[in-house]
Amino acid sequence: MGLKKTTHRKKSGKTIGYLYTFDLIYPEKTLCVEFEVMHSNILKAEEAVEAEFDQWVGEQEDGATGYDCRYKTIRG
């Protein structure tokens, strides 16, 4: 009697948006902010989040030495 091997593929789901995390780096501290962009096109989501990030940075105190950015895909 032989065993039948079956494979199951994980369904990833449709991309519904992106969660961006930015770290604004100061000499003594780091500020973290997250933006959730509900758009399936990564290029359009990136444009939208850049505008929001620029506005947020303008509201913060001067003296930042840099920033770090990362994102996660939101699937539905």
Percent of the chain with pLDDT over 70: 84
pLDDT at 45 over 80: yes
- What the block records as the tokens of 21 is 């995390």
Query: What is the predicted pLDDT for the residue at 2?
Result: 62
* Residue in the block written with tokens 């359009």: 44
Strands (E), 1-76: 15-25, 30-37, 66-75
Which residues lie across from 74 on neighbouring strands? 17
Is residue 10's pLDDT more than 70?
Answer: no
Three-state secondary-structure class, residue 48: helix
Domain ranges of the chain: 15-75
The string of pLDDT tens digits covering residues 14-26 is: 899 999 999 999 9
Structure tokens at 34: 């997250």
Tokens in use for 1? 């009697």
